[in-house]
Amino acid sequence: MKPSISTFSTSFLLLILLVIGCKKENNRETSTDAAATTKTKEQYPKNPLSEDFKKYWYAGDAEITSYKLEQARYGEIRDGHAVLIYVTEPFLPKEQVKANGSNPENISVLKLNATKKFLTGIYPYSIMSSTFYPVYDNQHAIKTSLSVQEWCGHVYSQLNNREKFEFTSHSYFEGEADQSFSMDKTILENEIWNKIRVNPKNLPLGDISVVPSLEFIRLRHQELKAYKAKGNISSKDGITSYSLSYPELERTLTINFTSDFPNSIESWTEEFKSGFGPNAKSMMTSGSKIKTLKTAYWGQNENKNQILRDSLGL
């Protein structure tokens, strides 16, 4: 016997109500999850920016500082130069790249492009790291990357701050060729250089867990992970010194900067074992300030602008 139209209509109506009910329930669950996510983000409030900070870092130019570099490599000291380029810019948190336009999702970051150039005998080294750190000092660096070029080959590493730290790396060395993995979030040595310029009063002190710089990890062929370290800070004659010591790596980094705003990086030292195998010995890399120039360098790309490099001692 065929079901009546009335019975079919009633069953169809019940099915619709059931589906709508499930959708509403799912919507409630989604809303709860979203609220939980929002609450988690709210645990890291934005630190207010001082008027001095705004005037200095949002003036429409970058801060470029050159340094005399003495780089320990293969058991010898190599003369060269380093440049630290600091500039604020809008950053897209999802794509993790510079934003081309205004967007409510943009995060204001202080970017540091740090470069080194030196010779090892006949062949040159060129190193550059980029770190993007929120000016509100309320989370870890959003992204940091490294590239190293020399005549043997080149390497590239990148760490993105998402649900976890996501690390990718490409290298010409056996055992390091292509890597991709995630790790728990902790302090990044790379972000310390930005944090000094944003909020040095909040530098990590005491016994801490730190991921060493991507540069050190690549040049020394160490495993990328968090290592036990100790953070110390001291001040004398207007200069504050912040140091990170890694017992397991037998390495100490010390960054010296002006105690007063804008907390300019004056010099640094990095003591570690240089060379490999039984010939490795403790040596010290150092950088000492030559000159600082505040300018919108991206618009100074004509031949006549090369004279500006002279003022930086480059």
Q: For residue range 69-107, what is the model confidence (pLDDT) as tens digits?
A: 999 999 999 999 999 999 999 998 888 888 888 888 889
pLDDT value, residue 279: 79
With a pLDDT cut of 70, the percent of the chain lying above it is 86
Rg of the Cα atoms in the chain:
25
| Sign, Cα dihedral of 252, 257, 260, 264 | negative
Smallest Cα–Cα separation from 56: which of 261, 305, 212, 254? 261
Q: Which range among 10-14, 171-175, 206-210 has the greatest average pLDDT?
A: 206-210
Rounded to whole angstroms, the Cα distance separating 45 from 133 reads 15
With a pLDDT cut of 90, the percent of the chain lying above it is 74
pLDDT value, residue 116: 98
Tokens read off for 87: 């500039």
Assign 26 a pLDDT band (cuts: 50, 70, 90).
Answer: very low
Q: How far apart are the first and last CA of the chain?
A: 95
Average pLDDT over residues 219-245: 96
Rounded to whole angstroms, the Cα distance separating 205 from 151 reads 39
Contact between 111 and 87 under an 8 Å Cβ cutoff? The reply is yes
Rounded to whole angstroms, the Cα distance separating 104 from 9 reads 48
pLDDT value, residue 278: 80
Smallest Cα–Cα separation from 290: which of 264, 269, 272? 264
Global confidence as pTM: 0.84
pLDDT value, residue 299: 93
Rounded to whole angstroms, the Cα distance separating 141 from 213 reads 13
Long-range (24+ apart) CB contacts under 8 A made by 67-71 are: 67/267, 67/287, 67/288, 67/289, 67/290, 68/287, 68/288, 68/290, 68/313, 69/116, 69/117, 69/118, 69/285, 69/286, 69/287, 70/284, 70/285, 70/286, 70/287, 71/116, 71/118, 71/125, 71/285
pLDDT value, residue 13: 40
**In sequence order, which residues have a C-beta less than 8 Å from that of residue 290 and are 6 or more positions away?**
65, 66, 67, 68, 81, 312, 313
- The 3-state DSSP class for residue 119 equals strand
Q: Reply yes or no on whether the pLDDT at 243 is more than 70.
A: yes
pLDDT value, residue 7: 42
Tokens read off for 213: 């710089």
Q: Reply yes or no on whether the pLDDT at 29 is more than 80.
A: no
Rounded to whole angstroms, the Cα distance separating 63 from 173 reads 35
Average pLDDT over residues 168-186: 91
Q: For residue range 131-169, what is the model confidence (pLDDT) as tens digits?
A: 999 999 999 999 999 999 999 999 999 999 999 999 999
Q: How many other CB atoms are there within 10 angstroms of residue 199's CB atom?
A: 19
